[in-house]
Structure 1
Amino acid sequence: MKKTAITLLLLITVLLNAIAQTPEETLHHKLDSISKQKGLVGFGVSVFSPDTILYKKGYGYADKENKKPYTVNTVHNIGSISKTFVGVSLMKAVELGLFSMETPINDILPFEVIHPSYPEEQITITHLATHTSGIQDTDESYDRSYVLENPKNVDISIYDRETAKYMKNLLENEAMELGVFLHEYFSTDGSMYQKKNFLKTAPGERYTYSNMGAALAGYCIGVASGKSFSEFTQEHIFDKVKIKDIGWSYNSIDVNNFAKTYSDTSIAFPRYSLNSYPDGGLCTSVLGLTKYAQEMLNCYYGKGTILKQDSAKEMMIGKLTKQQYNSKKEVKDNYGYFWEHNRNNIIGHNGADPGIMTLMYYYEDIKLGAIFFTNSNVIDNPEAAKLVQASWNAIRAYQNEIAK
């Protein structure tokens, strides 16, 4: 009887502790448990409204070899979430009168971009911003965008076979200015030019996600403004939001805040940059991106400073048709101007590159957003992908709980 009584007392204590947990404690417990599993070296999370950061915390390691913790101030590249900064910059350029969304890109560029199957059809800024330009990425050419910081110091023998093969190709890549790289890809006399850099469909006809199209949009902004794209974003976005650690190059951020990024086998990747940097080369932290997301949501609700409300809404509202998706079904996942906007009013973007994955989404029905960063490779890595999904499920449960 005594043993039974003690067992019941322990059970009641556990149940009472579970009941007493706040939503924040429950979320932390779930994320802390995930961080102790094999698959993610480090990750950071924030949950926010347009005005308040409700939860922010890092887990695991930014540098596992030196036991350096991953925090919300840890910095690494954020992949394709960078494209949302192209979208914001496009709308700012329109507000400044540099061009309209219907301006043909050949009215801006110093070299011509001609669709080989439709040479008379003009590619416009809108086509680039909605991924309907007829431009597509080709692996053999697009991979030349990735440039290792110190290729002579890279030992590919420490990686698994597939990673080593990929790294070997990158060792041959050279850094190029954005305009030079795009000229080599799009001009008929360029070293990377191929007819298959374009679809067989006309501009405006079909949606096909294109990194090169996004990079080209960023370059158009730079040419039209008389500044580099990085200078334009610094002046019109970074300085306005007062984000401390953010930039398109390692030199613009305190090196002590950078994370190492890791392969499937948790071996650190060498640092790399992108010749096509507007499409995925931005570096910042969970906290830095949260401040940016809050500002853009405030613009959407008419309370921001970077864009007028009409501009923010035009940028974020989905614009694609079933025909452009080549689908007979209802379009679930739509695009504004480099911003995703699905039928459930979820707004944002995600990103993935070697050694990182990032998520930034806002749920308009409950007016709460979330950001998730990891410095671990998730592409073609099922174990890591499951842990990312589990983390996001925990975040969503927290959001729904506090939104009641």
Structure 2
Amino acid sequence: MCNSNFKLKKILSVLLALSVVLACACAKSEETTKKTKKTRTKNTEDSAVTDTTEKATESDSEISTESTTEVTQTTLAPAPSTFDTDKAKEYMNSINFDGVVLVAEGDQIVWTYAEGMADRENKTPNTLDTVFEFGSITKQFTAVAIMQLEEKGLLSTDDKLDKYIPEYKYADQITIHQLLNMTSGVSDYLFNGMLGFSFDEFDSMTVDMLLDFENTMTKIVTTPLAKDEFVTKLSEYPLDFTPGSEYAYSNSNYYLLGIIIEKLSGMSYDEYVRKNILEPLALSDLYPDIDHLTSDGRLRLLIMNFDLPHQDPTISYAVGVMTGTAEGLFNWEKCVMDKALLSQESWDKILDGGSFGYGYGWYIENGYIEHSGMTLGYNTSVRVASESRRVIVVLSNIQLLEGTSNEPMASEVGEELWQYYG
């Protein structure tokens, strides 16, 4: 769920020392690390590859006719895609990748690619039907939910947080708007040690501690997090800066927004999203829970693989609980491009990057919007250009702490494939 980097520059020396120890113990061949970006590896024996071209999606429109009138519908053939599938295949075959890629243009799916294992124990391959964790892409749904509540008059994005969560120590200094666009200064619960571990601790960890990493992370991801406990613990951490003065990505912002959604709607977060977003849009391949997962996540740290249990949904919550298929996410992004569910004014707020380039649950770039996501074992990315109706979805069931130069992150895969549009 967390979109932040894992402080690789700080932990590199410890990771390299660990890789040397493991290489000697396991008689593994050496692997090259890269300091400037995260990448990843994969055992080729666990891979299965498929690709599909020009798969059309069903039309969302319906035509009604009266018995006295004959209606003739002229269906225009979709414009030829500008996406270079040959280059895409060549690129994907040149890297190590576990997951699914979907490329669309003009509301048509023009290319898909699936590789690796969804269920490694049973040798079940990844396919377009595989359900992945989305991580921080969830924030798009949380932002839409907040804007729905504003349109109903239940809140204003200009409201101070103390109107809804007065028990949070710094609530009187922060607005809902600042939570949404990451300018609140609220400390990030995934990186401040609040859960009993922070990736910031890597720089002081011994080799023995790193070898016990799997047990540590398993305990963390399977321990439920109560919302009142979250607020109490978060209050112990001071703001990182004066609200509104800076931008800093913090997952705590959207956890607090989830609490607001539940208080004002009288529903649990997952129930609200299901009844007010997914069902009205007929998005049947998306889920605000982990119950429908058909894939297993893997965490990779250099030559070490950790097959961790699925993260307890109370930890990821409104920050990163969403799951679904690649096509399900594509159908959601079509709704985003169509400005569904909300008024134009609300969508203008969501897609306003302000001076820091982050809207409400979206990074706002020149000509497109995007977001990536991570949970422990999953790594995802989506990029959307509304004007050209271009969408690239990348879902992977491997999350890297550090890999090799032939293991790009999902966001890097999406960025590379984006260049293959004409």
TM range (shorter): 0.7 to 0.9
**Which sections of structure 2, spanning at least 5 residues, go unmatched?**
1-82, 199-206
Deviation at 1:394?
4.7
Counterpart of 1:355 in structure 2 is 377
TM-fit CA distance, 1:389: 6.5
**Structure 1 contact 49–294 (Cα < 8 Å) conserved:** no
Assess, with a 3 A threshold, how the Cα gap between structure 1 residues 269 and 236 changes in structure 2: closer, same or farther.
same
Partner of 2:417: 395
Q: Given the alignment, which residue of 144, 168, 174 partners 1:123?
A: 174
Cross-structure match for 2:91: 30
In the alignment, which of 262, 282, 289 is matched to residue 249 of structure 1? 289
What amino acid is aligned across from residue 89 of structure 1 in structure 2? A
**Contact 1:76/1:284 (8 A) holds in 2:** yes
The question of whether the paired residues in 2 share the 8 Å contact of 1:79 and 1:358 is answered with: yes
Secondary structure of 2:308's counterpart equals coil
Give a deviation string over 1:103-144, Cα, whole Å, max 9, x none. Answer: 1222123x42232xxx8x531110110111121115354435
1:273 aligned to 303, 312, 325, which one?
312
Partner of 1:73: 129
Task: Report the counterpart of residue 309 of structure 1 in structure 2.
Answer: 344
1: CA distance between counterparts of 2:181 and 2:137?
Answer: 15
1:212 paired residue number: 252
SS in 1 for 2:419: helix
Alpha-carbon distance change, 162 to 145 in structure 1, aligned in 2, over 3 angstroms: closer
State whether structure 2 residue 306 is matched by structure 1 residue 258. Answer: no
Measured in 1, the distance between the counterparts of 2:260 and 2:273 equals 13
Deviation at 1:396, TM superposition (A): 1.6
Q: Which residue of structure 2 lines up, in the alignment, with residue 335 of structure 1?
A: 358
Query: Are the counterparts in 2 of residues 222 and 228 from structure 1 also a CA contact under 8 Å?
Result: yes
Q: CA deviation at 1:64?
A: 3.1
Classify 1:345/1:263 alpha carbon distance in 2 versus 1 (closer, same or farther; 3 Å). same
- Tell me, yes or no, if the aligned pair for 2:350 and 2:359 is still in contact at 8 Å: yes
SS of 2:247's equivalent?
coil
The separation in 2 between residues aligned to 1:82 and 1:108, in whole angstroms, is: 22
Matched AA of 2:236: Q
Q: Is residue 31–residue 394 contact of structure 1 (8 Å, CA) maintained in 2?
A: no
Q: Measured at CA, do residues 365 and 228 of structure 1 come closer, stay the same or move farther in structure 2, by a change above 3 Å?
A: same
Shift of 1:352: 1.8
Post-superposition offset of 1:359: 0.6
**Rounded Cα–Cα distance in structure 2 between residues aligned with 1:144 and 1:291:** 37
Counterpart of 2:225? 176
**Shift, 1:267, TM fit:** 4.3
- For the pair 1:96 / 2:152, whether they are aligned, the reply is yes
Cα distance in 2 for residues equivalent to 1:163 and 1:285: 33
Check whether the contact 1:50–1:298 (CA below 8 A) recurs between aligned residues: no
The answer to whether the 8 A contact 1:249-1:273 is kept is no
Tell me which amino acid in the other structure corresponds to 1:209: Y
Any conservation in 2 of the 1:263–1:269 contact (CA below 8 Å)?
no
| 1:185 aligns to 2:185 (yes or no) | no
Distance in 2 (CA, whole Å) between partners of 1:389 and 1:235 is 30
The structure, 1 or 2, with the larger RCO (C-alpha pairs under 8 Å, 6+ apart) is 2
Q: Deviations over 1:53-90 (max 9, x none)?
A: 22233222212333211112211211111111111111
Q: 1:292, CA displacement in angstroms?
A: 0.8
Q: Which residue of 1 aligns with 2:270?
A: 230
Letter in 2 for 1:28: K
Give the letter aligned to residue 24 of structure 1: T
Amino acid corresponding to residue 356 of structure 1 in structure 2: Y
Structure 1's 49 and 175: CA in aligned 2 closer, same or farther, altered over 3 A?
same
Q: Distance in 2 between matches of 1:291 and 1:145?
A: 36
- The residue type equivalent to 2:123 in the other structure is K
CA distance in 2, matches of 1:204, 1:175: 32
Structure 2 distance, partners of 1:145, 1:98, is: 36
Q: 1:91 to 1:261 in 2, by over 3 A?
A: same
Given the superposition, is the C-alpha separation of residues 122 and 397 from structure 1 closer, same or farther in structure 2, using an over 3 Å criterion? closer
CA distance in 2, matches of 1:381, 1:31: 17
Q: Which residue of 1 aligns with 2:164?
A: 108
Deviation at 1:30, TM superposition (A): 3.0
Q: Does 1:318 align with 2:353?
A: yes
Amino acid at match of 2:342: L
Identical positions, percent: 23
Q: CA deviation at 1:231?
A: 1.3
TM-score by length of 1: 0.72
One-letter amino acid of the counterpart of residue 31, structure 1: M
State the shift of 1:160 in Å: 9.5
| Number of the residue aligned with 1:189 | none
Tell whether the 8 Å contact from 1:82 to 1:280 is kept in structure 2 after alignment: yes
Question: Counterparts of 2:197 and 2:275 in 1: how far apart (Å)?
Answer: 25
Gap change, CA 1:337 and 1:45, over 3 Å in 2? same
Distance, in Å, in 1 between the alignment partners of 2:208 and 2:413 is 27
Give the distance between the partners of 1:221 and 1:45, measured in 2 at CA.
Answer: 32
TM-score (norm 2): 0.70
Read off the aligned partner of 1:76 and give its amino acid letter: F
Q: Would you say the 8 A contact 1:263–1:354 is kept in 2?
A: no
* In 2: Cα distance, 1:50 partner to 1:60 partner: 28
| Offset, 1:99 | 0.6
Query: Hey, what's the Cα distance between the residues in 1 that align with 2:411 and 2:370?
Result: 17
Structure 2 CA distance for partners of 1:73 and 1:336, relative to 1, 3 Å = same
The Cα of 1:351 is off from its aligned counterpart by 0.8
What are the superposed Cα offsets for residues 328-382 of structure 1, whole Å, 9 maximum, x if unpaired?
xxx5xx011121102x132121112322111111135644121101111223334
Q: Which segments of 5 or more consecutive residues in structure 1 lack a partner in the other structure?
A: 1-21, 147-158, 187-192, 322-330
CA offsets per residue over residues 231-256 of structure 1, 9 Å max, x none?
A: 111111111232234323333x2x5x
Amino acid of the residue matched to residue 217 of structure 1? L
Q: Distance in 2 between matches of 1:145 and 1:50?
A: 45
Partner in structure 2 of residue 221 of structure 1: 261
